[in-house]
A and B are shown apart, each in its own frame.
Chain A
Amino acid sequence: MESSSTYENGLNLKATELRLGLPGTTDEETAVPCVRNNKRPLQEDAAAADEKCGANGKSESQNETAPPSKAQIVGWPPVQSYRKNNLQAKKHETEAGIYVKVSMDGAPYLRKIDLRVYKGYPQLLQALENMFKFTAGEYSEREGYKGSDYAPTYEDKDGDWMLVGDVPWQMFITSCKRLRIMKASEARGLGCGTV
């Protein structure tokens, strides 16, 4: 019944066409649903306004004349507002970045990283190594970081300076307040020999 030519070239202009004809009449046999997105100013969904409106959910078959991005269609997707409000709150909690300052002994300025970005210690250490151009060495529980001039340490919630790597990753990212890449000579007191 429909020819596919309207969709083939990906423009799908028909969907966004302003139609002034009487309801029930069509210009051609390949009529498509009239999305009346230009006739009335859309009210931005109050909750959606908080989200990045740049969120671009457009599919392949639409281009710049396509319907407005989904964040602007009131009441779409049809999710109960109670559910939207409750999920949104949790989303911010579980995905907010954990930004901590990173200092390195001898470096002129500090950096900041988001701990949520890393899946575990190997990725974190790799990132620190790249950022500050040093090598962290081999980690072992007994001896800390062997074979390096530096040791990565962090200040925890209690204000103590700890060696990075001793506690499980999840516990680390929730308790780490800041990172310091310490000169190995100073770091000798941590880790090995104590306990």
Chain B
Amino acid sequence: MFWGSRKTIDMNYFPDEVLEHVFDFITSHKDRNSVSLVCKSWYKIEKYSRQRVFLGNCYSISPERLIARFPGLKSLTLKGKPHFADFNLVPDDWGGFLYPWIKAMAKSRIGLEELRLKRMVVSDESLELLSESFPNFKSLVLVSCEGFTTDGLAAIAANCRFLRELDLQENEVEDHRGHWLSCFPESCTSLVSLNFACLKGEINLASLERLVARSPNLKSLRLNRAVPFDTLQRLLIRAPQLVDLGTGSYVHDPSSEAYNKLKAAIQNCNSIRSLSGFLEVAPCCMSAIYPICENLTFLNLSYAAGLQSNELTKLIHHCRKLQRLWILDCIGDKGLGVVASTCKELQELRVFPSDPFDAGNAAVTEEGLVLISAGCPKLNSLLYFCQQMTNAALITVAKNCTNFIRFRLCILDPIKPDPVTNQPLDEGFGAIVRSCKGLKRLSLSGLLTDQVFYYIGMYAKKLEMLSIAFAGNSDKGMLYVLNGCKKLRKLEIRDCPFGDTALLEDMGKYETMRSLWMSTCEVTLGACKVLAKKMPSLNVEIINGSEQTEFNLDDRQKVDKMYLYRTLVGHRKDAPEFVWLL
């Protein structure tokens, strides 16, 4: 048609709408970013057609600039506090406030439909404004957030007429017991996903039942502890189409009528593929769920402290199709052996400590991990809290499972050597990074020297996130990582002997990364100041512990906590007193 004697097709010959249609098929953020760099016309088309934006650090850009850049924004993902905030290393009020984003988007009449937040401070005010400003709002996902109460949820329920998803994961919510559930109007029938497992207070059970009854599209329902056994049974009768279920309290007398009714109701729910909850559990009632275990692909028992190893293994025996398993360490090494011989499709395993305070008592060791690696060759994601680990075990695991994308090992005693050889665990982790060429995320623990970082810099070429604690001997360790890991995006370090030399060697490197966290290391205030001065594209924040109320001007002073991140907008205006922006 248009080609004539041309050998190449001139893409600019096509009208914008055609290019836009083509770009619709490009969904990954990275690819869309690349598209926008090709030429001005592509930049413009991509800019107006972009609907989904992911911001790994909410302070890397301002709300106003984001809106100007992508005026067609419909779905926004924001992450706030640094990861170590999960472990109480970041004081409250550090930042990560949602309100300015909602205010700016409301003012610019952005057609927001979806908001996903992680580690942000979300006030009731921001939830109320959100619910009133975006008529097409459909989906709210809050993970590890805080600052809101059930009043804010009531506003969402009452005002978001087309709400499809309200997903609250592990948030600290002040529960005012204000019957927020009853605020969903009778006309709301669009719910697909409702997760309120993290709420601590009572729930209006009658409202819940009516809500579920009028939500024919409901696929995912996760209840909190206040929802008792018999309500669960009635909900299952109304929603046999559920794909994802999180039980609330799961305690009852197995000889009762209610129990039999639940057994019958569950057997009817043959679409359930994902099961979690059991926030309170009576072991004798677990057999009721055996019929749905066959088809489960995700099982999360990591809050079910009432289940012992034998009950867990009895249950696991039925779960042959499991792909993801989250469990407490009371399952023990032998229990993990049962997992290894039953769950051949397993891709992700997380073993949490059932007693996170008494570090002497993790119930799993390197043996359980070796068994898993031998039985589950598809394993690609691991989080494993254990009593001890050996180099030999890690080397075996590396041989058996070469597909790891995420490998997070936490030995409860932070500097424990290999108990058999008394050697550091350098060789074991070295084997992991050598063998798993696709490794993107790694967390280390145990006794470790600079050598492990040598291996990481040498072999972990795809590594994006690295978490280090109580490891290394000298600046060389940190330098191996900074120089070798070309794809590194997030580096978080605590209690390691890395100092100014390592920090300042390659300052440009930090512009290629999202963020760097260093706490209780050897970095001095003077070095941080040098870095901040030389790199205006970075925000260098010093977070002070509560005992340091005065600005100590001595540049030789070691900083307690330093958090630096690249940004397009310079110093943030909302930093509290105890955060010094250099």
**Which residues on A are within 8 Å of B, measured CB to CB?**
1-2, 4, 7-8, 15, 19, 22-26, 31-36, 39-41, 43, 45-48, 51, 55-61, 67, 69-71, 73-84, 86-88, 90-91, 93-94, 170
Given A23-B522, A82-B144, 10 further pairs, Cβ under 8 A: A1-B426, A8-B422, A23-B474, A23-B498, A33-B470, A43-B546, A46-B88, A51-B357, A83-B302, A93-B280
Contacts of A48 on B, CB cut-off 8 Å?
357
**Of the residues B170, B358, B360, B414, contact of A82 by C-beta under 8 Å:** B170
Within 8 Å CB of B284, what residues of A? 170
Q: Is the CB–CB distance between A1 and B449 below 8 Å? A: yes
Q: How far is the CA of A48 from the CA of B356 in the complex (A)?
A: 9
Q: Which of A24, A41, A87 contacts B547, CB < 8 Å?
A: A41
Contacts of A59 in B (CB 8 A): 388, 413, 416, 419
Task: Fill in one digit per residue for B468-504: 1 if any A CB lies within 8 Å of its CB, else 0.
Answer: 0111111110000000000000000011111111100
Is B172 close to A, CB under 8 A?
yes
Stretch in contact with the other chain, from B18-26, B102-110, B313-321, B347-355? B347-355
Enumerate 26 A-B pairs (CB-CB under 8 Å) in ascending A order.
A4-B423, A19-B497, A23-B475, A26-B473, A31-B473, A33-B415, A33-B470, A33-B472, A35-B470, A35-B495, A36-B520, A40-B560, A46-B88, A55-B359, A55-B360, A57-B360, A58-B413, A71-B358, A74-B87, A74-B88, A76-B469, A77-B353, A79-B352, A83-B170, A84-B356, A84-B357
Contacts of B417 in A (CB 8 A): 7, 61
How far does the alpha carbon of A73 sit from the alpha carbon of B423 in the complex, in Å?
A: 23
State the Cβ distance, B483 to closest chain A Cβ, in Å.
15
**For window 247-295 of chain B, which residues contact chain A by CB distance below 8 Å?**
279-280, 284
Nearest Cβ in chain B — how far from A71, in angstroms? 6
B358's contact among A1, A51, A74, A75, by CB below 8 Å, is which?
A51
- Classify the secondary structure of B's interface with A: loop
CB atoms of B422 and A55 under 8 A apart? no
Q: Which of B356, B359, B451 contacts A87 (CB 8 A)?
A: B356
Q: A23-B499, A80-B86 are in contact. Are A57 and B413 (CB under 8 A)?
A: yes
Docked Cα-Cα span, A86 to B171, in Å, equals 11
Tell me whether A57 and B358 are in contact (CB under 8 A).
yes
Cβ–Cβ contact A94 & B416, under 8 A: no
Q: Are B352 and A24 in contact (CB under 8 A)?
A: no
When each residue 447-481 of chain B gets 1 if its CB lies under 8 Å from chain A and 0 otherwise, what string results? 11101000000000000000101111111100000
Docked pose: A41 CA to B545 CA in angstroms: 11
Asked if A75 meets B422 with Cβ closer than 8 Å, knowing A57-B360, A82-B144, the reply is no
A28 to chain B, nearest CB (A): 11
Contact B520 A87 (CB under 8 A): no
How many residue pairs link A and B with beta carbons under 8 A? The number is 177
Assembly CA distance A170 to B448 (angstroms): 47
With A24-B501, A57-B358 given, is the CB distance from A77 to B385 under 8 Å? yes
A24 touching B86 by the CB < 8 A rule?
no
Residues of A with C-beta under 8 A to B473: 26, 31-34
Scan residues 408-439 of chain B and give those whose CB is less than 8 A from a CB of chain A.
410, 412-417, 419, 421-424, 426
What is the minimal beta-carbon distance from B249 to any residue of chain A, in angstroms? 11
B580 beta carbon closer than 8 Å to chain A: no
- Which B residues are in CB contact (< 8 Å) with A43? 545-546
Instruction: Say yes or no for B89: interface residue by CB 8 A criterion.
Output: yes
CA distance A110 to B98 in the complex (A): 61
Q: Which residues from chain B contact A26 at a C-beta distance below 8 Å? A: 473-474
Task: Report B52 CB to chain A, min CB distance, Å.
Answer: 27
Whole-angstrom CA separation of A69 from B357 in the bound complex: 10
Q: A7-B422, A51-B358, A80-B144 are in contact. Are A67 and B415 (CB under 8 A)?
A: yes
Cα distance, A19 to B522, chains bound together (Å): 11
Smallest CB separation, A149 vs chain B (Å): 36
* Residues of chain A lying within 8 A (CB to CB) of residue B414: 35, 67, 70, 73, 76-77
